[in-house]
Amino acid sequence: MTIATLPPPAPLPAEPPAERSNYLNVSYGVVSWLLTKDHKRIAILYLISVTAMFFLGGAAISIVRLHLITPQGALVSADTYNRLFTMHGVIMVFFFLVPVAPAVLGNFCLPLMIGAKDLAFPRINLLSWYLYVVGGAWTLYAMLTEGVDTGWTFYAPYSSQATHYNVVPTLIGLVLAGFSSLFTGLNFIVTTHWLRAPGLTWFRLPIFVWAMYATSFISLLAVPVLAMALILLMLERLLHIGIFDPALGGDPLLFQHLFWFYSHPAVYIMILPGMGIVSEVIPCFARKALFGYKFVACSSLAIAFLSFLVWAHHMFVAGITLYAALIFSCLSFLVAVPSAIKVFNWTATLYKGSIAFETPMLFCLGFVALFTSGGLTGLFLATLGVDMHVHDTYFVIAHFHFIMVGGMVMAYMGGLHFWWPKMTGRMYSQWWSRLAALIIFVGFFLTFLPQFVVGYNGMPRRYYQYVPEFQVWNVLSSAGASILAVGYLLPLGYLFYSLRYGPRTGDNPWGATGLEWQTSSPPPRDNFAVTPTVYRGPYEYDTGKAQNEP
């Protein structure tokens, strides 16, 4: 069948006791990193890139939040403001949220979790990273020279005809980055199908792998549509071919349909991996099998499927027909069902557990709370009668950030802290990291709860100035954002510190049962000395037996 069934390689020669060979020390030098085909090293490359992007996007929004302290706008001009929120949105969505979990954690963990030596196509994996970097460079060039002021949604005809800024280079960057995630998705799907260790049946896969698999399918099917939409937009902008602009005979709603056909599934590209991470972490620290494993696994696939059928819920007041609005509202409620199933199952997993509050667990419990809040407010937006009021207001901003920042970034932090000892072989400060989890959780609520209120009061998004009665909520939100910023800077400090000064951990510091923990930390170049054979499911915490224990 595959590599997985080949006879196991001869055991490695006895290692020196001081430092075992691992993927970090197997070779040195910049070239050995830039030309690496090791999924673990590529994950580290991604980790560095997405972290840089995260802080760039964060810097942009910090200026925005400061600016919004006064109703007239405190800091920057209207055009600068518009370019700043666009920079925040574009960078955070396309260069942080979409790649962060698959490209960093998925890249690192997926082969380890299924007992493979690497992804199916290591060279394509490296190509993905280069596409990401080149795409990021184009976009940053566009952002940092003249900037772009369309918002991350690029609605035509504003983006295609009206704006004078750097739309085309940005779009080139996004198309390249899109193909980066498409190739990663392709790689993950093939890897999951073909490189599973012997005995690792589909229903023995960790939920994280299920989530990656579902995410990959969304990428594979949706990214081409995004690329199409953006290329058409470029054609219209450069050659004045009428596609979206009515003045040229186009239809502006067509752009919205195409854009959201990608961008709604894309929010599940962003959040599904987070659900996967939480499904790994909660069982580990509760010492319980994941409650309702099959329901959780299948709900990932259900989300991936249904996510393609709800895009026009972004367009309830955009001028679609009444029947379209009714159908898309109904389907949007349906996609909430699998998410609800997951939340109930995570909660039930805690029941009669033995719960430890290590940092990854704190982040993941925070995820469940914030994601649930975000999901429940999503129901308001799926409800036609409420959406027609809160559409394009800060209510939507708050909802989106509850899912994406409260949900996904919390889950990513949880995953990063969970697998950090696996990636580096070192442990970070428990005290500082718990403090960071707490600060992020509190700062998040303070930042985004006021936005629900000001949104229902009618403050539209993308306003560089606003009417005075909205000020109190904006000041509260900005104050919360400053706390949140501290929370995000802290991990940068203590994680870096741990690289050099953190105590060395054992191979499996959390006592987890997943395959990735059954090899050394950091793992050797080929992940496992001997390809493991799998005898059981991923979460048998009642016996404490690892997946490869007979």
Partner 1 sequence: MLESGKSAWFPPEGSTTAAHVDLLLYFLVAVTASVGLLVAFLMFYFCIKYRRRPGAGRPAKTNASHALEWFWTITPMFIFAVMFIWGAVVYVDAYHAPADAIPIYGIGKQWMWKFQHPEGQREINTLHVPLGRPVQVLLTSEDVIHSFFVPGFRVHMDVLPNRYTSVWFQATRPGDYHLFCSQYCGTNHAGMIGTVVVMEQADFENWLSLHAEGSLALEGRKVFLKYRCISCHSANSGARAPVLEGLYGSTARLNTGKAVVADDAYIRESILDPGAKIAAGWENIMPTFRGQVSEEEIYALIAYFRSLKRGETPRRVEDYPPPTATPPINTTAPDGRASDGRASDSKPSQPAQP
If one asks whether residue 258 binds partner 1 (CB under 8 A), the answer comes out as no
Binding segment toward partner 1, per CB under 8 A, in 19-27, 341-349, 417-425, 515-523: 341-349
Q: Are 187 and 120 in contact (CB under 8 A)?
A: yes
Give least dist CB 249 to partner 1, A.
9
Name which position in 141, 147, 353, 525 contacts partner 1 (CB under 8 A): 353
* Spatial separation of the C-alpha atoms in residues 533 and 434, rounded to whole Å: 36
Q: Are 459 and 470 in contact (CB under 8 A)?
A: yes
Between 213 and 473, name the residue whose CB sits nearer to partner 1.
473
The interface with partner 1 within residues 388-417 (CB under 8 A) comprises: 388-389, 391-393
* Spatial separation of the C-alpha atoms in residues 215 and 321, rounded to whole Å: 31
- Binding string, residues 57-96; x marks residues near partner 1 by CB under 8 A: ---------------------xx--x--------------
Binding segment toward partner 1, per CB under 8 A, in 106-114, 241-249, 415-423, 489-497: 241-249
Q: How far is CA 397 from the centre of its chain?
A: 17
* Spatial separation of the C-alpha atoms in residues 384 and 129, rounded to whole Å: 41
Beta bridge partners of 393: 460
Binding segment toward partner 1, per CB under 8 A, in 231-239, 284-292, 408-416, 422-430: 284-292
If one asks whether residue 293 binds partner 1 (CB under 8 A), the answer comes out as yes
φ/ψ region of 14 (left if φ > 0, alpha if ψ in -120 to 50, else beta) reads beta
At residue 36, the 3 state secondary structure works out as coil
Return the ∠ at Cα 18 (arms to 14 and 20), rounded to 5°. 55
Binding segment toward partner 1, per CB under 8 A, in 178-186, 206-214, 263-271, 355-363: 355-363
Between 52 and 320, name the residue whose CB sits nearer to partner 1.
320
Between 20 and 545, name the residue whose CB sits nearer to partner 1.
545
* Spatial separation of the C-alpha atoms in residues 534 and 515, rounded to whole Å: 8
Between 226 and 362, name the residue whose CB sits nearer to partner 1.
362
* Spatial separation of the C-alpha atoms in residues 96 and 91, rounded to whole Å: 6
Other C-beta atoms closer than 10 Å to the C-beta of 203 total 12
Give least dist CB 285 to partner 1, A.
8
The interface with partner 1 within residues 121-160 (CB under 8 A) comprises: 149-151, 153, 155, 157-158
Name which position in 344, 432, 497, 535 contacts partner 1 (CB under 8 A): 344
Name which position in 217, 473, 510, 528 contacts partner 1 (CB under 8 A): 473
Q: Are 151 and 192 in contact (CB under 8 A)?
A: no
The interface with partner 1 within residues 490-549 (CB under 8 A) comprises: 541-544
Between 141 and 344, name the residue whose CB sits nearer to partner 1.
344
The interface with partner 1 within residues 158-177 (CB under 8 A) comprises: 158, 161-163
Q: Are 375 and 449 in contact (CB under 8 A)?
A: no
Q: Residues touching partner 1: how many (CB under 8 A)?
A: 93
Name which position in 39, 288, 401, 422 contacts partner 1 (CB under 8 A): 288
Q: Helices 430-456 and 410-424: crossing angle, nearest 10°? A: 160
Give least dist CB 469 to partner 1, A.
6
Binding segment toward partner 1, per CB under 8 A, in 50-58, 117-125, 415-423, 456-464: 456-464
Give least dist CB 251 to partner 1, A.
9
If one asks whether residue 357 binds partner 1 (CB under 8 A), the answer comes out as yes
Please report, for residues 205, 360, 490, 534, the alpha-carbon distance to residue 545 in angstroms, rounded to integers and kept in the order given. 15, 21, 35, 11
Which tokens hold the place of 223?
């990214």
Beta bridge partners of 460: 393
Query: What is the Rg, in whole angstroms, of the alpha carbon atoms belonging to the chain?
Result: 23
- Binding string, residues 186-225; x marks residues near partner 1 by CB under 8 A: ----------------------------------------
* Spatial separation of the C-alpha atoms in residues 547 and 448, rounded to whole Å: 41
